[in-house]
Structure 1
C-alpha cells in the first residue's frame, strides 16, 4: 500500500561565511568608495544597481578587468527604453575569445571533458587551448572565414566545440550549434536560416552504450546547406582510417583541416576588435509553436524569452514545476504533464495528465490523494480541474518536456514541427479527449 509523500519544511543546507571577503564584497566596497555611499549588504547594492544601472555597469566594467582596445564613450542611453534596444558600451572595442583565453598561467586547467564510453576525464590547459584555438582560427582564415560569417557545429558539447567556437569568436565569425541527437529536418530548420560557410561534425556518437553513425544524417544536412564551403569531420568514436567521407561534398578530416593553417612557425592568435553588440552566438527557440526562431547573443547581451510552464487559472499565476514537484513524489506516478485549457470566453482551467509507473494503476483514490497533497502544499486554487491518465508525455530531442504543443492539440490546433520531438507519436494521445469536450 502506497504512502502519501511527506512534505517537509525547507531547510538551509549551506550559507556563505559572512566573514569571507568575496568578490561581491570587494565590488560592493569599490562602488561604495567611488560614489561615497553606504552599501552595507548585497540588498543595498542590488537596489542601487536598479536605480543607477548605467553607473553600476560602468563600475563593473572597471572591476572585472576586461581586456579591450577602446573604451566606451557611453555605457547606455538611459533615455531609451527596452523596446528601443539601446546600445550598450557604445564605442568600445573588444573580443570575447580574447577575454576567455587570457589566463596568465598556461598550466592551469581550462577544460575538463567526459565522453560516454570512455572512463578517462580529459584535461586541457589554457596553454593547450590557446594553441588549438590558434590552429582552428588560422585554418578558418585560410579558407576565407571572416567577420560576420556563420560557423556551425553539429556535434556534442565537448572540447572540439569549445575550440571551434573560440576560434570563430576570435575572427568575429558567429557560432551556432545543434546536438547530434537532432534529425536532418531539425538541423535544417535551424541552420538553413543562417546560411553557414563552415560546419564541424562528428562521425558518430555513443548513447546509452550504443554507437550511432552520424555520417548519413550529415550527408543530408550538407545537401540542404548550399552556402557551405567546407565540412570538417571529427573522428569521435572511430579512427580516421575506418571512416569514409567520400560521399560528403567538400569534406575534410579535422587533422587535415587544421594542417592548412600551419606554416613554418606555429600560428599566433589574432583577435578582431569588435563592438560590444557584435553578434557572438545564434541560438534557437524550441520550435514547438512553429519554425525555430533565431536568438542572437552578443558579447554581453542575452535576450531570452519563456513560453512554457506558466498557468493562470482564476487569476492565480504559478509554474507547472510547482505541481510536478508534488505529483512526481508519488511512487505510483512515473511522469506528469500540466497544461491549461481555455474556453471560448478565454477562461482557463488546469489539466494534469499522469503517466503511471510500472505495476501501478490509475484510480480515483490516487486522484483524491494528489489533489489533497497539492491543496496542502500550495493552495486550493492550485488544484487542477481535471486529472487524467496518459500513456505517454512528449519530449523534445534535447530532453525538454513539451507543454505548449499539448496545449495546442487540446485546443484543436495542429503541431507542425514534429521533427523536434523524440517521441512524436505521443502527441496523438491528446487529440479529442472525451473529458475535455464542451469546455
Structure 2
C-alpha cells in the first residue's frame, strides 16, 4: 500500500460539514453504520431516497411547495423522477443571502477589480429580471450569453433563471461558426454580449462577431451589450441596447417563478470537435441539489470561503462555480490568461484575495512545474486549504509537485464528471487522504463502477466508467431530440438502463479512481487497450517536453502509436531525445505503450476549455475533415498534422 501524500487532521474531519451531515443522518436512520466517507457512500446507494432527502434538508433547499415523494421510477435510467410535486426557483436558492458580505470579486487581466455584496447582487438581478420580463421573457424561453467571466454574466444568468427561462452561454473567444453551431440550435430570444475582452496582453473586440451572430439568428428579439473594454461601446451593425440602460432602476425585489424540480435550467454543449455540438438540457432542481451536495458535503464550502475556479463561460465549471452562491461563499471571477503577470496572476490572487479553495486544470499545474515556479517560496498561501483540478487526468508527478513546491497542508482533489451531468461522478473529500495519481472517491449518491465490455464489474483492472443508479443531475435530454434517440445513443446504448460515461478508468485499492483517458481515444495496438493518460504521465516527466498529444494511426491492418511533442524553445527532437522518451515510457509502462513514431510540432490543438482534441488530430492524420473548428482555442494547430511525410512509412 502506498503512503498518502496528505491526511486530514482530526480537527478538520470533525469540523467538516460531511461529519455534521453523517451525524444528522445517523440520528434519523439506524441503518447507517459508521460516519466515515465510504460508509456514507454505501448508505447513499442502498437508501437513495433517505440520502437525497437528507441533502435537501441539510443544505436548506428553498421551495414554495414540498415534494410529494423523493424518487419515482427508481428503476429507470433515464426516466427516474426526482422530488415530484416540489416547486422552487434556482435563482432564489442562489440569492438566499442578501447581506453585506462579498458575493463576487471580479478581476480582469488588465488589473481592473470590482466587488459585489450579496445585497448589491440581489438588487441588480432584480433590476435586470424586471427588464427581461418587460421584454417578454418567461418560463421556457432561451436567453444566451456571449460573455466573458464577469459579474454581469452571473447577473444575467440569475435574472434569466429567476423568470424560469433557460440560460445558455459560451465565451467570446468563440468564432461566429462556433457560436451559431450552439446558439443557432436553441432559438434564443435575448442575447447578452460583451463588447470585448482582455487576453494575453491584448484587447479583443467582439462587436463585429456579435453583428454577424445577430444577423444569422432570426429568433433574437433583443441584444444587450455589456461594456468591458469601452465604457460606452459604439453599437453598429445591429439593433442593440446598452446594459445600464435596460436596468429597471426602481425595482428592488424579485418575483421568482415557482416551477417543478425538473424544469429546464441550462442548455450546455458538448465540445463539438467531431460534429455539431449536442445541446444538453439540465434541470433546475437536479443541478441545484447536486451542486449543493458537492460543494457542502464534499468540498466543505461555506460562508467563510473565497472560492475560485479558472473557467470561461463556455465550460461547465463556470456553472459549477456560480452555484457556490447557494452556500453563501465569496466567488472570485477572473477573466484573462491564467499565465498573465509572468505566470503569477492567479497565485497572486490567492494571497491578495485570501482564496481558500482554488480550482484549476491539470494543464495549469503541469505548466507551473515546467516553468520552474515554486509558489511556496514566492507566495504566502496561508489562506489556501483546498486545490481542485479537472479537465484532464492529474499525473502522479503533478500531485507530488503540489505537495513539494506549492503547499504541504492542502487537500488536493482531482475531480471528474463533465458537461454531460454538469457535476462529478468521482471527486474529492476533505475528510479523505490524498494518494498520488488518484481521485479520492466516488461522489456521494453516485453508483459509479468500472465494467468490462460484457458489463461485469472490475477490480484491479481497467474498463468503462459507468453509473448504475439514477442521480438528480442526469440531463433531461438533448434539445431538438423529441424521441430521445440521440440522447439514448450517447449514454445508454452500450449498457441498458446504465449510464456509460465514455471514460476509461480503474478503481484503486483505496476506493479511489484513476482516469486513463476517454474511451473513444483509447489506443488498441495489437488488441491491447491503452489509455492515453498512461503515456502522457511518462512524457510529462521529460524536462524538454512542454506538451504532447498521442493518437493511434491505422497502419498495415493494425494500429500504431504516434506521439507528437512540443519542445522547449530552441530544442530539436534528435535521436537521443527520442530514445530517452521511449526509454521512460517503456520502463514505466509496457513495450506496447512505446510510440512507433515521435514527431515534433510547434502546437497542440485544444478546445477553448483547454482539453486536448485527440480525436480531431486522429482525423487529420487519417485525411479526414474536422468540422466545427471554432470550438478550438487554436484551430490553426490542426494544420501542423496534415500530410506529414513521417507518417507515410
Distance of aligned partners of 1:79 and 1:144 in 2 relative to their CA distance in 1, 3 Å threshold: closer
2:389 — aligned with what?
Answer: none
Q: Which moved more, 1:66-75 or 1:124-133?
A: 66-75
Q: Distance in 1 between the 2:222 and 2:199 partners?
A: 27
1:284 corresponds to which of 241, 266, 269: 269
Q: Distance in 2 between the 1:413 and 1:123 partners?
A: 48
| 8 Å CA contact retained: 1:349, 1:385 | yes
Q: CA deviation at 1:94?
A: 0.8
Q: Distance in 1 between the 2:168 and 2:242 partners?
A: 20
Alignment pair present for 1:92 and 2:86: yes
1:324 — aligned with what?
Answer: 536
Q: CA deviation at 1:22?
A: 1.6
Task: Give the gaps of 5 or more residues in structure 2.
Answer: 288-418, 422-500, 504-516
| 8 Å CA contact retained: 2:74, 2:80 | no
The equivalences for 1:196-345 within 5 A come to: 196-240=188-232, 243-249=233-239, 251-258=240-247, 261-263=248-250, 266-299=251-284, 300-301=286-287, 303-304=420-421, 306=502, 309=518, 310-313=521-524, 317=529, 319-342=531-554
Q: CA deviation at 1:222?
A: 0.7
1:25 — aligned with what?
Answer: 19
Distance of aligned partners of 1:419 and 1:319 in 2 relative to their CA distance in 1, 3 Å threshold: same
What is the SS of the residue equivalent to 1:201? strand
Distance of aligned partners of 1:156 and 1:233 in 2 relative to their CA distance in 1, 3 Å threshold: same
TM normalised by structure 2 equals 0.61
Q: Distance in 2 between the 1:39 and 1:335 partners?
A: 45
| 8 Å CA contact retained: 1:396, 1:402 | yes
Q: Distance in 1 between the 2:9 and 2:210 partners?
A: 48
RMSD: 2.4
Residue correspondences, number: 419
2:100 — aligned with what?
Answer: 107
1:51 — aligned with what?
Answer: 46
The equivalences for 1:332-411 within 5 A come to: 332-342=544-554, 348-411=559-622
Q: Distance in 2 between the 1:341 and 1:253 partners?
A: 51
What is the SS of the residue equivalent to 2:244? helix
| 8 Å CA contact retained: 2:173, 2:633 | no
Q: CA deviation at 1:434?
A: 4.4
| 8 Å CA contact retained: 1:392, 1:426 | yes
Q: Distance in 1 between the 2:225 and 2:215 partners?
A: 15
What is the SS of the residue equivalent to 1:217? helix
Distance of aligned partners of 1:79 and 1:167 in 2 relative to their CA distance in 1, 3 Å threshold: closer
Q: CA deviation at 1:289?
A: 0.6
Q: Deviations over 1:233-274 (max 9, x none)?
A: 11212122xx3214312x11111111xx344xx331111111
Q: Distance in 1 between the 2:560 and 2:65 partners?
A: 55
| 8 Å CA contact retained: 1:151, 1:196 | yes
Q: Deviations over 1:121-159 (max 9, x none)?
A: x22111011001000100000111011111111110110
1:143 — aligned with what?
Answer: 135
Distance of aligned partners of 1:200 and 1:60 in 2 relative to their CA distance in 1, 3 Å threshold: same
| 8 Å CA contact retained: 1:138, 1:262 | no
Distance of aligned partners of 1:378 and 1:344 in 2 relative to their CA distance in 1, 3 Å threshold: closer
Q: CA deviation at 1:89?
A: 1.3
Q: Distance in 2 between the 1:316 and 1:91 partners?
A: 50
Structure possessing the higher radius of gyration over alpha carbons: 1
Q: Distance in 2 between the 1:364 and 1:338 partners?
A: 19
Distance of aligned partners of 1:303 and 1:396 in 2 relative to their CA distance in 1, 3 Å threshold: closer
Distance of aligned partners of 1:200 and 1:68 in 2 relative to their CA distance in 1, 3 Å threshold: same
| 8 Å CA contact retained: 1:354, 1:387 | yes
1:426 — aligned with what?
Answer: 637
Q: Deviations over 1:288-323 (max 9, x none)?
A: 111111111212157345577442435655543343
Q: Deviations over 1:25-66 (max 9, x none)?
A: 111122222121322411111111122222211221122211
Q: CA deviation at 1:185?
A: 1.1
